[in-house]
Structure 1
């Protein structure tokens, strides 16, 4: 009588490892997508807060000359821990707000060090219809609003 050997064949082991690898890859792609969405959502919340703060700060003249992160922070129009805006955006870059140099009735918000061109372009697409101007170049997202 021959004894029957028990165990897995090399092909069976390879099949299981392949399934695990594909599942892991799918999970990583999904994680990257979710993290990107979270960063874009957080950036949009920052911009919304800055818009509200700019309206609180705006003087009766309607001009935004002198607006800055420090000014908004000093009047409580943005969270105090935003301070000068350094390192405060979701990508670890800066948040800046200032007057448009061409038209003082407009203000510019800039997020620096946006690490993903896809996420930067998504912000451009999301703000194109509600702003005077949007752009993304070299890791900087810039949006101009009419006061």
Structure 2
């Protein structure tokens, strides 16, 4: 009498192949997630800076001198959202946002986002504003952009 052996299940190679495919798909998903989060932070920061630019134009007195401009002042006149308050912990990285007159030229104002923990994102924002700002720089987790009024 012949005995038949039935094999059930998967071989070790098949299991390794499936696990490898799952690992590669997971890594791809994580890379895409990081890319999407980074793009979202940069986009939110650009929106915030655009709002501050519009608010600065509303706030600017007839003399064109920005002495006294601040997030609090812009909030007071309704030029920026009331929820921004004094700008503490309001930027997309959880750091502070501020706007102040440029000490070298009072017809300019400077927007600063502190706590920008990703140098790639900070440098990307510098490139975005290099053509429209007087000065744009990123150093030590701080993005500084100076605009002409």
Q: Please indicate the TM-score interval, normalised by the length of the shorter structure.
A: over 0.9
Aligned counterpart, 1:10: 12
Match runs of 1:103-118 below 5 Å: 103-118=105-120
For residues 93-112 of structure 1, the aligned pairs below 5 Å read 93-112=95-114
Alpha-carbon shift at residue 4 of structure 1 (Å): 1.8
1:128-147 aligned at under 5 Å gives the runs: 128-147=130-149
Distance in 1 between residues matched to 2:4 and 2:148, nearest whole Å: 87
SS of 1:135's partner is strand
Structure 1 runs of 4+ aligned residues shifted over 4 Å read: none
**What is the aligned partner in structure 1 of residue 124 from structure 2?**
122
Unaligned runs of 5+ in 1: none
Larger Rg: 2
Under a length normalisation based on structure 2, what TM-score does the superposition of the two structures give?
Answer: 0.97
2:45 alignment partner, one of 43, 46, 56: 43
TM-score by length of structure 1 reads 0.99
Gaps of 5+ in 2: none
Q: How much is the aligned-residue C-alpha RMSD, in angstroms?
A: 0.5
Q: Distance in 1 between matches of 2:117 and 2:42?
A: 11
